[in-house]
Chains A and B, each alone.
Chain A
Amino acid sequence: MTDLRPPASASTIDRRSILSLGLGLGTLITLSACTPTDDAPLTEGTPVQGGVLKYFEPQTWTLLYPPSVGFYPNGGIMNNISARLLWQDPETLELHPWLATELPQVNADATEYTFTIRNGVTYSDGTPLTPENVAKNFDLFGRGDEARTLPVSEQISNYARSEVLDESRVRFHFSAPTPGFAQAVSTMNAGLLSDSTLDLDAEGFGPGGALKIHTCGPFRITAETIGTKLSVRAREDYDWAPPHLTHQGRPYLDGIDYLVNNEYSVRIGAVLSGQADGVRDVQAPDEARVEEQGLRLYAKPTNGINNGINFRFRHPLLSDIRVRRALIAAIDREEVVDKLFTPNFPLATGVVAKGAMGYKDQSGSWEHNPAEANRLLDDAGWSRRNAEGYRVKDGQVLALVVNTALPQPRSNEVQTLIQQQLRRVGVRLAINPGDQSKQTLDALSLDTIQIYHSMVARAEFDNLRSNYASVNRDVFLNGTGRDDAEDSTVDPEIDRLLDELATEPVAAKRQRAAERFQDYLVEKAYVLPFFEEPQVFSFRRRVHGFETEPVGRPSFYNTWLAGQ
């Protein structure tokens, strides 16, 4: 634990800040210097066909196996090359037919789903979409194949088997009620693959094999330069857009070039100087300057669990609810949002975002009150302080470690601010340093991480289960055998409430189950949500009609380029 960074003292400037000053300088130069303002017209007009969009990603894609495309660079590609049985409206979150001709027939306890498959759909390798092929897809996604290191989809639970009924119908059977399945088939994690693609192993889905990935979406992969670029081009014969959309037929764009550069100042600079058309992941401090340059800025909601921290109550230091309540009272969420973010990052009013399924307004549950925090900590026996001003009890310092959520915006800055806020009430917070792998590995143990910073997005009630259930992401490490901690410290109520939610087939009852679960989290002071996390994109003005799917992944089917 020697590598943990101690809380920064108030006034010293360390080497790291000087380094970041240097790093930031490049960005500053681009943004402040005289790049010409983009003054192309913003009016929408009639879409025109043609042109290839140059779009920047911070990291290269790693795997185009649909259940693994939660990683943003993977999802940005998969969402545009694949088609799904159903289509979810990003605004209303309602489901509509896509490759299924109608919404599925579901039995009363949601253990059987019957889909009728559209005729005339072909994969990019020319093979047709058939019920057998659809069955084969879900047999893989629903079970995974460990021999090929292809994991099961976290969105499909209780999968038992598929059954092809006739030449257009397929039925899926589940071992327990699975009301989330209809939404699961609409996500890019259930993008359908051709038979030959389904036979690939993990190597086949990785870099170097992109041309062998055959899908039936509006775009298909045509060229791959490992590590730097992936080109997709429009399918001229694409004629199976969701009937709900006004735009039918082939996409307006001729194609998209996904470009990769790890250096933020280069990505944003390339768009500002007009060398590229768009970029994902504009950082909050740059939003104003990007808009000053005349560029389009989109902050797309991800409609999921809010960005926030989870208190791992099984750790001895956090097992006392008074301590957890004190931490919540000591943290000023409004200061975090105001100081580090923009209005595109709204203060969380519940465990999940306003646009998410299962939302319940819980604003007022997390009031900032340092005096109350001090009182609670004194009550809990942490009244003595050591020489540094931190609270001690029985010779132990009230010191906690939080992870750095690298995929989340400014996680390190957020935690640094909270570190200062907690210091004021005598709680020591250390920020776990290190890269993504170290964060992932450290987060698996209560000893290394006691406060877990995260968010997750899926536009379904099951999102709560994905995040909190002991068999899924298990942010609390609440499963028996997950950690060395005593099994008696497990809170079985969490899994019980989530099972209720996951197996309740009636939507209205699911909403109530979701609310009950969120109330429980608030009542037990297990979580502190900060803000509703958006995905922020920037595009040149000539790029029209940019859209995202329900959790903020880019969707280029309706996008068109002016002046083609």
Chain B
Amino acid sequence: MLDVKYLFLRLGQAVLVLLLAFTAAFVLLSLIPGDGVTARFADPALGLSAEQIADIREQTGADAPALNRYLLTLVGFLTGNFGFSVQTGAAVSTIVAAALPSTAVLALSGFLTALVFAVTIAVLATYGPTSGPLRWVRRVLDSTPSLFISIPVFWLGILLIQVFSFQLGLVSVVEPGSAEALVLPTLTVAVPLSAPIAQVLIRSITEVKTSPFVKVTQAKGASEPWILVHAVARNAILPGLTIIGLIFGELVAGAVVTETVFGRNGIGQITAQAVTHRDNPILLAVVVIATFGYVLINLIVDLLYPVIDVRLRGTRTATPTQVGTVEDTAAEPVTGSFAGVATARGTTPAPIAGEEEA
């Protein structure tokens, strides 16, 4: 299925993006007046004289020309040596290795929860009752994404802790178990994250629902749930997938606040501290890791498109028979989307309707 040449091209792009992100971060961090070495050793708490600080600066190579430092750091990164934290002197790899798993777990659970939220909201907002005593459900849920996206993460986190931990005593924030420690942070991350996904899903479901091919399927007697699963979902999911690739950045930003509020030692927490201490080696490592995550997620999303939508396989799939069929149908503008859905399993449109009649 996978085009090897395409994959290599994408990997090459990824490496380039990483290099550019690294360089941009290095340049920007160098432009900030003052550096971590002075920030740490000129701290009045140490009471060092100007001469002593100058000596230390010389020892640490902080005064070397920017290009030298850039090349040294780059070689270090390529060989897996991320350098040492300016603030504490600890190896950046140690600090990052301790922080990464916790953030990965939080990101994954937050993301999955956000998906559940988003799908539930989107389905209820588009398929909820239009009349009867429960018709408000639909209206309320339709505006939920705007509400969710406006909630400040730190406020939500603090509120969840106050209510569920301090008032109700359901979870402990002091030395909690590993699952217990994940519940509230996951909710905190998931709520704002679910908003854009839900918003896009609501829009695309509404759009797809009014498409001619859905009307046709409906006319052929398909039930609403069947149409949702087999016809609408498949088409509506593509914009959702695109937005998932884009919100990864939001996930990282959310982690900074969430981890700070919940006292979780993660990438977000070390970023917040590194920024306060001008700890450039750590910030560089975080930028590279975040870029890597971003590139990886978007690569996965790109590779998933053709798996979900057959119409997108044409340009780069290797199976000639399928390409022919799909491209033929996709080329017809009127029945395009209908065919796309119906041929999802690689069959022709007719049998689907037939199945439904049976």
Binding site for B on A (CB under 8 A): 22-23, 25-26, 29-30, 33-35, 54, 59-60, 62-63, 67-68, 70-71, 144, 146-147, 149, 151-152, 154, 201-209, 225-229, 257, 259-263, 265-266, 269-270, 272-273, 275-276, 407, 435-438, 440-441, 443-444, 454, 456, 466, 470-475, 479, 481-482
Contacts and interface: CB of A to CB of B under 8 A. Distances in A.
B3 interface: no
B45 A70 contact: yes
A270 B41 CA distance: 34
Contacts of B68: none
21 contacts: A25-B158, A35-B167, A68-B46, A146-B52, A149-B59, A151-B48, A203-B90, A205-B89, A208-B95, A226-B95, A226-B98, A226-B265, A228-B264, A260-B263, A263-B261, A265-B161, A266-B173, A437-B34, A437-B276, A441-B42, A481-B50
Q: Is the interface of B mostly helix, strand, loop or mixed?
A: helix
Contacts of A257: 175
Given A26-B159, A71-B45, A226-B99, A206 B85 contact: yes
A62 B88 contact: yes
A355 B95 CA distance: 41
A270 B173 contact: yes
Contacts of A228: 263-265
Interface stretch (B190-198, B267-275, B346-354): B267-275
Given A26-B159, A201-B89, A262-B263, A151 B39 contact: no
A263 B265 contact: no
A154 B48 contact: yes
A527 B36 CA distance: 30
B154 A152 contact: no
A272 B264 CA distance: 21
Given A144-B52, A466-B47, A203 B95 contact: no
B166 A208 contact: no
Which of B45, B89, B157 has the most chain A CB within a 10 Å cutoff?
Answer: B89
Interface in B51-67: 52, 55-56, 59-60
Interface string B171-184: 01111000000000
A275 B173 contact: yes
Question: Would you list the 5 A-B pairs with minimal beta carbon distance, nearest first?
Answer: A154-B47, A227-B265, A202-B89, A26-B158, A441-B34
Contacts of B59: 146-147, 149
Nearest to A150: B89
B84 interface: yes
B136 interface: no
Contacts of A474: 49
A269 B162 contact: yes
B175 A438 contact: no
B90 A207 contact: yes
Given A154-B48, A482-B50, A149 B56 contact: yes
B217 interface: no
A206 B275 contact: no
Given A29-B162, A71-B45, A444-B42, 15 more contacts: A26-B155, A26-B161, A29-B159, A33-B167, A35-B166, A62-B88, A146-B56, A149-B60, A202-B88, A205-B89, A206-B90, A261-B261, A262-B261, A265-B162, A454-B44
A57 to B, nearest CB: 10
Contacts of B42: 440-441, 444
Contacts of A479: 49-50
A440 B60 CA distance: 19
B36 A30 contact: no
B298 interface: no
A33 B162 contact: yes
B165 interface: yes
Nearest to B261: A263
Contact of B174 (A270, A441, A475): A270
Contact of B263 (A23, A207, A266): A266
Nearest to A273: B166
Contacts of B265: 225-228
A256 to B, nearest CB: 13
A207 B88 contact: yes
A146 B49 CA distance: 13
B203 interface: no
A261 B172 CA distance: 14
A60 B154 CA distance: 20
B204 interface: no
A435 B43 CA distance: 12
Contacts of B50: 479, 481-482
Contacts of B90: 203, 206-209
A75 to B, nearest CB: 10
B329 interface: no
Contacts of A23: 154
A22 B159 contact: no
B324 interface: no
Interface of B: 33-34, 36, 38-39, 41-50, 52, 55-56, 59-60, 84-85, 87-91, 94-95, 98-99, 152, 154-155, 157-159, 161-162, 165-167, 169, 172-175, 260-265, 269-270, 272-273, 275-278
B263 A263 contact: yes
A275 B172 contact: yes
A144 B44 CA distance: 17
Most buried by B among A259, A441, A466: A441
Nearest to B84: A203
Contacts of B165: 269, 273, 275
Nearest to B163: A29
A505 to B, nearest CB: 22
A381 to B, nearest CB: 33
B267 to A, nearest CB: 11
A54 B50 CA distance: 40
Contacts of A63: 88-89
B269 A227 contact: yes
B87 A62 contact: yes
Contacts of A481: 50
Contacts of A472: 47-49
Contacts of B94: 207-208, 226
Contacts of B48: 151-152, 154, 472
Contacts of B277: 436-437
Contact of B88 (A26, A29, A206, A471): A206
A118 B45 CA distance: 31
B46 A265 contact: no
Nearest to A470: B49
A151 B52 contact: yes
Contacts of B60: 149
A435 B98 CA distance: 25
Nearest to A29: B162
A487 B175 CA distance: 56
A203 B94 CA distance: 10
B175 A227 contact: no
Nearest to B34: A441
A202 B36 CA distance: 15
Contacts of A25: 155, 158
Contacts of A471: 49
A208 B265 CA distance: 13
Nearest to A26: B158
A435 B275 contact: yes
Contacts of A59: 273
Nearest to A70: B45
Contacts of B98: 208, 225-227
Nearest to B172: A275
B49 A436 contact: no
Contacts of A441: 33-34, 38-39, 42
Given A33-B162, A227-B99, A54 B175 contact: yes
B108 to A, nearest CB: 20
A436 B272 CA distance: 12
Contacts of A33: 162, 166-167
B63 to A, nearest CB: 14
B276 A435 contact: yes
A70 B46 CA distance: 7
A335 B36 CA distance: 37
